[in-house]
Structure 1
């Protein structure tokens, strides 16, 4: 399995950041590449509509407000990979917090580095926009 992990330190308290990103159905509110989102199956399946016209379907596996963490699986998407499980987590620090967005996956039809680069770009764009939104 391949892995991608991106971290963003923020000056904001962990609870404030989690209030914004902990909503599985709210990714389009802070991620600039996600232009729309549909929820189904009691809020556990989300269909992301990206700026480039592509889409991805993801299933919420676990979510914990106490841990400020949720894990989801990719059900369908444009990237050539299998068994993708991703985690979005906010960890408190002495001053502020760290947001960690990571995933493990099995490449299918593309090199591992191509998929890693695409996921890293997606995560970094989102976390940079999150930081800007919280600063503004």
Structure 2
């Protein structure tokens, strides 16, 4: 399994960050690549519509508001991977909070480097935009 992990330190309190990140259907509110999100199956399946016209289908596997963490599996998407299991986790840290977005996956064919780079860039861009969204206009 290949792993990708991006960490963002924020000045905002963890509960405030979790209020935004913890909304499984709210990715479009802070990630600049996401145009919209459709929820189905009682909020456990999200279809993510990207600005480039592509989409991904993701299934919520586990969620803990007490731990400020959720785990989801990518069912279908544009990145050439199998068995992609991702985690978004917000923790208290000195002077604010830390957000960790990570995943493990099996690359399709010889696309490990490109899949890793694509996911890393997606997570990094999202967490950077999250920081801006929390700071307000």
Same fold (TM > 0.5)? yes
Unaligned runs of 5+ in 2: none
Aligned to 2:92: 92
Using structure 2 for the length normalisation, give the TM-score.
0.97
Q: State the SS of the aligned residue for 2:20.
A: helix
Report how far residue 79 of structure 1 moved: 1.1
CA–CA distance in structure 1, aligned partners of residues 110 and 15 of structure 2 = 38
Alignment map for 1:1-136 (pairs within 5 Å): 1-136=1-136
Q: State the SS of the aligned residue for 1:113.
A: helix
Using structure 1 for the length normalisation, give the TM-score.
0.98
Per-residue CA deviations over 1:49-68 (Å, capped at 9, x if unaligned) read 00111000000000000000
Q: Which runs of 4+ in 1 moved over 4 A?
A: none
Per-residue CA deviations over 1:44-92 (Å, capped at 9, x if unaligned) read 0000000111000000000000000000000001111100000000010
Unaligned runs of 5+ in 1: none
The answer (yes or no) to whether the contact 1:86–1:104 under 8 Å persists in 2 is yes
CA–CA distance in structure 2, aligned partners of residues 74 and 24 of structure 1 = 13
CA–CA distance in structure 2, aligned partners of residues 109 and 37 of structure 1 = 29
Instruction: Please report the RMSD computed on the Cα atoms of aligned residues, expressed in angstroms.
Output: 0.7
Aligned residues: 136
Report how far residue 95 of structure 1 moved: 1.4
CA–CA distance in structure 1, aligned partners of residues 93 and 79 of structure 2 = 34
